[in-house]
Structure 1
Amino acid sequence: MTDHAATPQPGPGSEPTPQPAPESGPAPQPAADPAPTTAPTVEEPTAEEQALAAQALAAQALAAQAAEEQAAHRTRRRKAAVRWGCAVLVFALAGTGTALAVTAPERTDIPGLATAGDGRYTFPPLALPPLPSGKAAPNLKDKAKDKGAAVHLADLRHLLLPVPKEAGGSVNPPVFPAPTAPTLPAGSAGSASPTASPSDTPSGTPSATAGPSASGTATVGPEGAAPANWVSCDALLGDLQNPARMRTLLRQNVCRAATVREWTASDGTSTRIRLMRFGTSAEAWDTFSRTRSEIQLKAAPDARTAPSSADGELPDGVEVTRKESRETAGKDVPTTRLAFVSASDVVAVITMTNPRGVPAAAFRQVVDLQSDLLA
């Protein structure tokens, strides 16, 4: 037996006995899960994945390097284009400046481009003097010379070669006055009539020192524009070693008029050009042919005929005989050169002297230009 009575159990259909409410307080917390004892498992990449990743990294590196190279290449090209552009601009400016510097001044004024001087002179442009009204220029090709077709009717003084720049002359073309009939000086050789006799020629013999200044030659001005004066035909005798023979020749052929021009260039070469006019070309030719063979000048008493290859270039109707002295200077350059020119009714005597030698180019130039004026 027990001391406690048994708790009556509710019977069927009876209401349950209410239980006392539990005391208020914090609700019990569920117990925490125990910490896992092992780390989560991480799968290692396979070899194929590692290779693919390496290839991707390499491709990215190559792409980055290519981009950098392209950027550097573009930069270099831009810099090169700028440099070449600047170089082209500099060369263009330099070329333009050089072209202007070369073409603006005279070629002879540019150091290194000027042609070495060979002794030739600087003459003004040659110009023929005006003819009298109604008269024609001489036709030296006309065989009927004695009929007047080849007679020079222009002022003989203006047919002389002008003074070159090297002797104080001008380079401007000459200005000729209106044509007038030639007025022979007192005591000149002969009259203007074709029938003039030898007795009309003055009988006085000029002194051995007679020159252009002594015979009335006009002094050439600094511009070389002043024409030479008319002189006596006998004025030539003062230059000759045998004047008596020449005087006889001038009387026989009746020299009608004469003029002379002379100058001394900066190289020391003295030039004298004499022109003599005759009534007919036959008289002039006889004087020319005998003078070149029989007459000797004091400047070169032993002058000998000089061979020349330029005679084929002479104008039609002009004949030239060149002589040179045996005395030479330097490289066997003659100290005196002579030329006798025949142009229908006019005979020219050209004398050039220089103790240091007369340049061949200057002599040939003077002879050719004087021949052109007479042609």
Structure 2
Amino acid sequence: MTDRESPATPEGPQPGAPAPHAPADVLPDAPVQATGTAPTAVGTPRAEEDPAARRTRRRKAVLRWGAAAVVCALAGTGSALAVTAPERTDVPGLATKSDGRYVFPSLTLPPLPSGSAVPKESKSRHAADLRRLLLPAPREAVGSLAPTALPSPAATVSPTGSASPSASGTSPALADRLDCTTLLADEKDPARLRTLLVQYACRAATAREWTASDGTRTRIRLLSFGSSKEAWPVFVELRDNGDPKDIDGLRSVTPPDWDMLYGVNFVVRETTPGTTGTPGTQPAARVAYLSAGDIVAVITMTNPGGVSAAAFQQVVTFQSALLA
């Protein structure tokens, strides 16, 4: 038996068999475009920028940042001025409720006559013009400040108790130079005080009145004597028995702990809060009697709605500073 040779197997793919995958190492590096054009090159360097254009771009950037810095500086300066220029109480968010204190002009001691010394002790005499030792009216004062209800000026209390005109017969330069009996018009029973003014020879008097915008009326009276020994009995009489007209129910209170200057003695009297028919916690009247060497001062503040404690302390302290 003879052997048959097997038919040769064709080397190509059999019909219906899947086409074999091409090896990875024979894949093309880049796909061929359908249009047949050459592929685009990757990573081609950009043309170098013109130096002049670069300088222009940098200059514009510097100008933009500089303008922004100037705007910020101007805005900050404007904000600072808006906060610091007005009064604190006028700035929204910083305004606080007023406690009644006033705004007074700058206080300066009056000039002394040539050869006169500044009083250093409570027993010293004041050489300055009494009228210039009077506290000025504050900014809150409204209406006329002239003491129209006070006695006529240019008169003094004589030892006999009668008022005599001045030697010159003319009114003094300042309208607030008054008769020493001026204070008598403020008292309910002035007889005892009149006797003391004559006995201890009151030499000069002055007064100032104002009504503030809150309705508080302030009256200040200054009386000058020949020495502290002559002024002291009048101060004691007022301190113990002073009874101003139109004020009822004055009572002595504990001396307040104020920073008063050396050489000034003072006593405070006030009404009981709520006794005037107006509800509130502040007295409707406060009175201070002061003694500073040869000068006696009476400060009266009234308001049906209540006299601010801060305003009262302010007025008394400032007047004392001018007398100390």
Would you say same fold, with TM above 0.5?
yes
Distance in 1 between the 2:174 and 2:99 partners?
Answer: 28
Equivalent of residue 249 in structure 2, options 294, 299, 302: 302
> What is the 5 A alignment of 1:324-363?
324-326=270-272, 327-328=275-276, 329-363=278-312
Q: Does 1:286 align with 2:286?
A: no
Q: Does 1:373 align with 2:322?
A: yes
Q: Does 1:233 align with 2:202?
A: no
Q: Does 1:105 align with 2:86?
A: yes
> What is the 5 A alignment of 1:1-375?
46-47=23-24, 92-140=73-121, 145=123, 150-168=124-142, 185-186=154-155, 188-190=156-158, 198-199=159-160, 201-202=161-162, 227-311=174-258, 313-326=259-272, 327-328=275-276, 329-375=278-324
Distance in 2 between the 1:113 and 1:138 partners?
Answer: 43
* Residue 48 of structure 1, CA deviation: 5.8
Structure 1 runs not aligned, ≥5 long: 1-37, 39-43, 55-62, 65-83, 170-183, 191-197, 205-216, 219-225
Q: 8 Å contact 2:193–2:237 — kept in the other structure? A: no
Distance in 2 between the 1:90 and 1:299 partners?
Answer: 64
Q: For residue 352 of structure 1, give the secondary structure of its aligned residue in structure 2.
A: strand
Q: 8 Å contact 1:140–1:343 — kept in the other structure? A: no
* Residue 339 of structure 1, CA deviation: 0.5
Q: For residue 266 of structure 2, give the secondary structure of its aligned residue in structure 1.
A: strand
* Residue 301 of structure 1, CA deviation: 3.6
Amino acid corresponding to residue 160 of structure 1 in structure 2: L
Q: 8 Å contact 2:142–2:211 — kept in the other structure? A: no
* Residue 45 of structure 1, CA deviation: 5.9
* Residue 365 of structure 1, CA deviation: 0.8
Distance in 2 between the 1:49 and 1:100 partners?
Answer: 80
Q: For residue 258 of structure 1, give the secondary structure of its aligned residue in structure 2.
A: strand
* Residue 310 of structure 1, CA deviation: 3.3
C-alpha deviations, 1:233-269, integer Å up to 9, x for none? 2121111122111112222222111111111111111
* Residue 86 of structure 1, CA deviation: 9.7
Q: 8 Å contact 1:241–1:301 — kept in the other structure? A: no
Q: Percent identity?
A: 54
- Select the structure that is richer in helix: 1
Amino acid corresponding to residue 137 of structure 2 in structure 1: V
RMSD: 3.4
Q: For residue 181 of structure 2, give the secondary structure of its aligned residue in structure 1.
A: helix
Question: Which structure has the greater CA radius of gyration?
Answer: 1
Distance in 2 between the 1:354 and 1:275 partners?
Answer: 22
Distance in 1 between the 2:289 and 2:283 partners?
Answer: 17
Q: For residue 222 of structure 2, give the secondary structure of its aligned residue in structure 1.
A: strand
Q: 8 Å contact 1:321–1:340 — kept in the other structure? A: yes
Q: For residue 165 of structure 1, give the secondary structure of its aligned residue in structure 2.
A: coil
TM-score norm. by structure 1 comes to 0.61
* Residue 95 of structure 1, CA deviation: 2.8
Distance in 1 between the 2:99 and 2:279 partners?
Answer: 15
Distance in 1 between the 2:178 and 2:163 partners?
Answer: 15
Distance in 2 between the 1:104 and 1:49 partners?
Answer: 85
* Residue 125 of structure 1, CA deviation: 0.2
Amino acid corresponding to residue 114 of structure 2 in structure 1: S
Distance in 1 between the 2:175 and 2:137 partners?
Answer: 11
Q: 8 Å contact 2:269–2:286 — kept in the other structure? A: yes
Distance in 2 between the 1:203 and 1:134 partners?
Answer: 32
Distance in 1 between the 2:120 and 2:175 partners?
Answer: 25
